[in-house]
Structure 1
Amino acid sequence: MSRLVNLLTVLVVIVTLTTVDANAFAVTVTVIDVEIDKRALEAKKVKEIMTMDGIANEASWQLASWQPIDQLILGSMPSKEDFSGRFKIMWDEQQLYLLVEITDDILFDQHADPRHLYWDDDCLEIFIDEDGSGGNHQFNFNAFAYHVALDNQVVDIGENNADGSDNFILLNDHVTSVWRRNEQSPNKVIWELSVRAYGDSFSLQVPMQTSIQNKKIQPVKLSEGKNLGFMLAYCDNDGSKTREHFIGSVDIKAVNGNKNLGYITADVFQRLTLIR
């Protein structure tokens, strides 16, 4: 599978002094091109049991750095009062942990059916490519585009239905989500989530097994040094028929003028490395 690499070239200058005699030195200047993945992200391991309750009072969160959600994907760039966001990400062997801080003056959920036009409601989008391989995932489980609604239900697109129509599915067991508004103005939304990482062997079909415990496909166990594909985004709508702003954490290179590619291909995700 292909994987998009977004590299920044840096010139490193090395100056070497060589003694010629007691009163003179020769200076040699070496210039080296070093390529750095400017989209790489690191997640530290938590130090305690994490409780997803929208309070975020675990000491481990202090070890993680805030990352911005500030890259326009669709619509117009909102004012900071209309929408702004940032997040922290951590991990343990069982799952990833996200702390997301959202400023949104109007929370809007117009569709009762969690699988109907969910992208036109306010929702948080979590993009995960468990093995970091990139590639298309629109109608398969090579990667996941979890849309977490205000009622905490989790939606993605599965394999097409038998008639070829889109198959919108609930994957609520993949993500645990709790949010609450801060009581202090500007009443930011504090959103805590734990995300289990499933590989591309995930299927909605239950495999034939002799042991009942082994019937359900299990999430991948995480470990230090593992690389995943990752992106975070937010759909903002203040009352329109369709979403007004779509803002993400990654600067996506447009294809034919379109930056809304995260739900189609994992090539636009950034690399996430798990560290201690």
Structure 2
Amino acid sequence: MNSTRIHLSLSAILIFALVDLGEAYSLPSHDPERSHYYAPRAQQPPIVDGVADDPAWENAKWRELNHRWLGPELSDSDFRGRYKVTWSEKKLYVLVEFVDDVLIDTHRDPLVQYWDDDCLEIFIDEDHSGGNHQYNHNAFAYHLSLDNQAIDIGTDKQARSYSHHVESRWQQQGSSIVWEVGIDIYTDAYRDNASDNMPQTLSAGKVMGFMLAYCDNDGSEIREHFIGSEFAAGDHKDRGWIDAGLFG
């Protein structure tokens, strides 16, 4: 089977490498002890429908979503989550399974305070270069809302919809939420409003920066917890929307 390392080191395309070694990985442009994840190639791409019954997921390893970046201690009944990754030549696929006792989506305008509703956030740095991506496309930070829209900040410093980059569906199964996502991968040459942006063709051995997070709100004006897939040191643990060096 072909593989790439997603960093996630895939984290080789993320790394897409397809075997989880569970070892630390770091570069000068990244925080120390970043994780990496080897994502297997899907022989048949999964159907993005919120039902995790595709054979493509069978060989992908689960990874915990368990680093609390913001908010007080929380119980497993409030939130717990895990994810896995696979890929095809055309897309990166992410499967997330989590328990969240309350789902909140109170902001009708998808471009306003989207981070304060329950949302899944997927961070992607196509060339694993790290560095600042706050108002550029060195990396993307897709905020996926409960109505399956994908929002990030554009080069004009305004929130924009990038839903055309992402296919997103979730379903509730018992006490768990199953969320499937298919993502087109773009380089840092991406231009907002341009008609000629082309997604990358993925191949085995590609290394990408990757990180996953969940914004949890149980009824407050602002999010109550922010839980990520990577350890974040210091006081500003929620800096992934600015700094791709935090990614795996």
State TM-score, norm by structure 1.
0.78
Coordinate RMSD, CA, aligned: 1.3
Secondary structure (helix, strand or coil) at the match of 1:226 reads coil
Distance (Å, rounded) in 2 between the aligned partners of 1:155 and 1:65: 27
TM alignment of 1:192-271, pairs within 5 A:
192-206=180-194, 215-254=195-234, 257-270=235-248
CA shift for structure 1 position 77: 2.7
Aligned pairs, how many?
222
Deviations 1:66-107 (Å, cap 9, x if unpaired)?
A: 100000111123210011100010111111111100100110
Instruction: Check conservation: 2:64, 2:229, Cα contact below 8 A.
Output: yes
- Match of residue 98 from structure 1: 94
Report the alpha carbon displacement of residue 2 of structure 1 after superposing the two structures with TM: 5.8
Aligned-pair identity in percent equals: 45
In the alignment, the residues of structure 2 paired with residue 99 and residue 40 of structure 1 have an alpha-carbon distance, to the nearest angstrom, of: 17
On the 8 A contact 1:6/1:39 being kept in 2, the answer is no
Gaps of 5+ in 2: 1-26
* Distance change >3 Å, CA 167–CA 54, structure 1 → 2: same
- Structure with more contact order per residue of length (Cα contacts < 8 Å, sep ≥ 6): 2
User: Which entry has the higher C-alpha Rg, 1 or 2?
Assistant: 1
Deviations 1:202-256 (A, max 9, x none): 01132xxxxxxxx4311111110000000000000000000000000000122xx
Q: Give the aligned partner of residue 6 of structure 1.
A: 32
* 1:40 CA drift (Å): 1.5
For residue 164 of structure 2, what is the amino acid of its counterpart?
D
- Pairing of 1:43-54 with structure 2 (within 5 A): 43-54=39-50
What whole-Å deviation, never above 9, does each CA across 1:86-142 have from its counterpart, x for those lacking one?
A: 001011111111110010011000100000000000000000000000110001111
Structure 1's consecutive aligned runs of 4 or more residues displaced over 3 angstroms after TM superposition are none
| Pick aligned residue for 2:78 from 77, 82, 105 | 82
- Counterpart of 1:173 (choices 164, 167, 181) is 164
Matches within 5 A, 1:14-163: 39-160=35-156
Structure-2 residue corresponding to 1:24:
none
Instruction: Tell me if the contact between 1:2 and 1:135 (Cα under 8 Å) persists in the aligned partners.
Output: no
Counterpart CA distance in 2 for 1:216 and 1:77 is 46
Q: Which runs of 5+ in 1 are unaligned?
A: 8-37, 161-165, 207-214, 271-276
SS in 1 for 2:48: coil
Distance 2:45 2:57 in 1: 12
